[in-house]
Chain A
Amino acid sequence: MVTAHKYSPPAFHVLAPRIQKRLGEPITVPGTDEKVTDLVVVHDPNKCTGCNQCMIGCAYKHYRTFDRSFALLYVNESPDKNGFYVNANCQHCVFPMCLASCPKEAIYKDEKGIVRISPLLCVGCGTCNQACPIGIPRLDDERKIFVKCDFCDGDYPMCYQMCSTGALKLLPRKEAFELVKKLRSV
């Protein structure tokens, strides 16, 4: 007896809980035994020499090229102060503006707390770039979609590993916030 093939729909990824609870393995804070789930990269401009190793490491990690224009973080000389280098890198915000603004719901916060852009859903409108206070997401010219830092999938980020002066620090969010406050008061 021939039975009719029963159609079963594919299991779609549910996007509804867009800010998910962090379920990932905690990461060890460098130089300590403490394990946390919320680490961020902070830049100390007083230590930065503008060597651009972070950008080059990032470009190599993600695009296998030393061309720093492919990097997902940015270091430039300050227009106000000679020999002073400022940086912009994704902080994987607790409530990301890019995520809130995306009209295609292509941006999500994954189980490790990393804010990601889905390359399949992104249409390259650039709203995320406009919404982000420091304009982190950038256009990938070849794929015509927006791309951003993915925290090297939860490893110690390559920019942090490559930093030649220790200007990039990997800290728990609370400590990072304290450091930024201290740096600003200086």
Chain B
Amino acid sequence: MSVAKPNLNSKVESNNASNGASESLNLSSNNVKPTKYGYFLGCVMPAKMPWAEKATMIISKHLGLDFGYMKEALCCARPGVWKAISPDWWLSLTAQNLANAEKQGITIVDTCNGCWISHYEAIKELTEEPEKMKMVNDQLAKVDLHLKGDVKVKHYLELLHDDVGMEKIVSRVVRPLTGIRVMRHIGCHARKHDETLPNDFDEILRATGVEIIDTPYDKTCCGLLLYFADPNQAILERIGKKMKTAQALDVDAYVIICSGCYDQFERGVKIYRDEKGISFETPIIHFSELLALAFGYEPEDFGMTRCRPIAVDRFIEKVKAITAENAKKAAGAKEKGDGLP
């Protein structure tokens, strides 16, 4: 693909604590300078979506963000489960992440909606209700932590849209993905407060040049929590309907951002394939991958083809074809321009 390739010399630092990577040995010492934004991976991202993790790190560095992994990260304590069991347990577990981030002086950045809503609502509830803050700090004292409530929590979309800015994102697009048709799924929690995050999501997607196809099932939940309660309905009525719509409309990709949703999409696709003999061909692509491609990175730079329930080869071929066509058009225009008197 003849695209101005970004500089890959500045390798992404891999000081991932929750992966248990070898680099994590250095984490307990204070040698590594903390970054401004601490990326909270969550549970699914390192286990099932290495390509998305890498792509997110690549684009964040590419956009000049002071971005690294959050150290000493624990489970986000998913509110969908823990809040029902005990709101106090949920607050205490989530507060441990918040206290760690506060100690490190970072802003927590989440790409998973579940992690984001857990952190966001916990810090909101704790700062508004001093009694709960006291209860949580009593629990945290057992592990030598203290939460003042100064920590900031951001969704990755918020970070890109507000802190980086659309102008900068648009200016970095060197490979417009014009001609790629996608369906998108942002996930439930991102819709909780207002329509800001869904709008940001669409705006950034459109900046890459893709065409967004609207369907009635765009809003529909992926069925992750419902899977524990009613697996049949979660797969047939949620993932089944979404993926069948994508298949019928022959879109090139299903773009997601939430790791929890991806977990459910992958599970649904595998169950359909193994138990019902139905294979869906629409690849499920992370939002960061699309941005990385638009910024000129190659699929190999973030291992796009690996660990996929649905192969992305056809999608990559289409991106290559579009790139070649764009290059041809650009060359033609240049020649035409040169011939002018």
Residues in chain A within 8 A of chain B (CB atoms): 47, 49-53, 55-57, 59-61, 66-69, 77, 81-84, 158, 161-166
Contacts and interface: CB of A to CB of B under 8 A. Distances in A.
B225 A53 contact: yes
A137 B230 CA distance: 22
A47 B83 contact: no
7 shortest A-B CB distances, which residue pairs? A83-B216, A51-B221, A164-B188, A49-B221, A82-B216, A60-B84, A68-B229
Given A50-B238, A83-B216, A162 B229 contact: no
B192 A165 contact: yes
A60 B226 CA distance: 13
B220 A83 contact: yes
Contact of B191 (A59, A60, A68, A166): A166
B216 A81 contact: yes
B33 interface: no
Contacts of B220: 49-50, 83
Contacts of B193: 166
A47 B79 CA distance: 19
B216 A84 contact: yes
Contacts of B217: 82-83
B237 interface: yes
25 contacts: A50-B238, A51-B188, A51-B224, A51-B226, A52-B226, A53-B188, A53-B225, A60-B84, A60-B85, A66-B84, A67-B229, A68-B229, A68-B230, A69-B230, A82-B217, A82-B241, A83-B216, A83-B218, A158-B84, A162-B83, A162-B84, A164-B80, A164-B188, A164-B225, A165-B191
Contacts of A49: 188, 191, 219-221
A52 B117 CA distance: 17
A51 B225 contact: yes
B6 interface: no
Contact of B221 (A50, A55, A57): A50
Interface in B247-300: none
A59 B80 CA distance: 13
B218 A68 contact: no
A161 to B, nearest CB: 6
A77 B117 contact: no
Interface in B4-40: none
B189 interface: yes
B237 A57 contact: no
Interface string B74-98: 0000011001110100000000000
Contacts of A77: 237
Nearest to B229: A68
Nearest to A48: B219
Given A60-B84, A77-B237, A164-B192, A52 B216 contact: no
A160 to B, nearest CB: 11
Given A82-B216, A83-B216, A166-B191, A56 B87 contact: no
B265 to A, nearest CB: 14
B191 A47 contact: yes
Nearest to B220: A83
B188 A165 contact: yes
Nearest to A59: B229
Given A49-B188, A77-B237, A81-B216, A161 B87 contact: yes
Residue of A51, A57, A67, A81 with most partner-chain B CB within 10 A: A51
Nearest to A81: B216
Given A51-B225, A84-B216, A161-B83, 16 more contacts: A49-B191, A52-B221, A56-B228, A56-B229, A57-B83, A57-B84, A67-B229, A67-B230, A83-B215, A83-B216, A83-B217, A83-B219, A162-B83, A163-B192, A164-B80, A165-B188
Contacts of B225: 51-53, 56, 164
Given A83-B216, A83-B218, A83-B220, A162 B80 contact: yes
Nearest to B228: A66
Interface in B144-201: 188-189, 191-193
Nearest to A60: B84
Contacts of A50: 220-221, 238
B215 to A, nearest CB: 8
A53 B82 CA distance: 12
Residue of A52, A82, A84, A164 with most partner-chain B CB within 10 A: A164
A100 B216 CA distance: 41
B65 to A, nearest CB: 28
Contacts of A60: 84-85
A171 to B, nearest CB: 16
Contacts of A57: 83-84
Contact of A61 (B84, B221, B226, B238): B84
A69 B225 CA distance: 14
Contacts of A51: 188, 221, 223-226
A146 to B, nearest CB: 22
